[in-house]
Structure 1
Amino acid sequence: MNRSELVSSLAERSGVTQAQADSVLTAFGDVLVEAVGSGEAVKLPGLMTVERVERAARTGRNPRTGETLEIAASFGAKLTAGSKLKAAASGS
């Protein structure tokens, strides 16, 4: 499902226009990015949890040359599926 299909589905299920559904989806994305960027976890019970995780500095290897290199510490995002999402994925 792409964004326009998601917006159409949201609009149909919630009884709002597609423009309003698109606006809400955009706002949700903005809030999610802002919260995770500041280190806050976003929890939607039963669906998912999105949180910022820290990756430690480590030594890597260039697969082409075999040369070792240092990979700097960084941050990433981690999405954990909730029970409803896991059940849907397993076909239940």
Structure 2
Amino acid sequence: MAIILLGALLTVAGVVYMAGAALRRGRLSDPAPVVPDRPMPNLATPGPTLEPRRRGLGFLGLSQNWPGLLMMGIGLALLLLSALF
């Protein structure tokens, strides 16, 4: 029973960590930050918008999300292990 609870806790903690990491990177509705070397992003409408054209998929990167993915993987392994025995 403890293995199931630990597996569920690790899985949920991994999802929460990854969601928090995406939110810590900045507001999702604002355009990408302006970098001096890069041109201004091409937006669908001027000003802050919910639909920037080129925000990028940086929140899906493995380098930022590996702790959350590791927690989820260990949690899922524990849940599968408890289901087998």
Q: Which has the higher strand share?
A: 1
Structure ranking higher on relative contact order (CA contacts 8 Å, 6+ apart): 2
TM-score (norm 1): 0.32
TM-score (norm 2): 0.34
Q: Which has the higher helix share?
A: 2
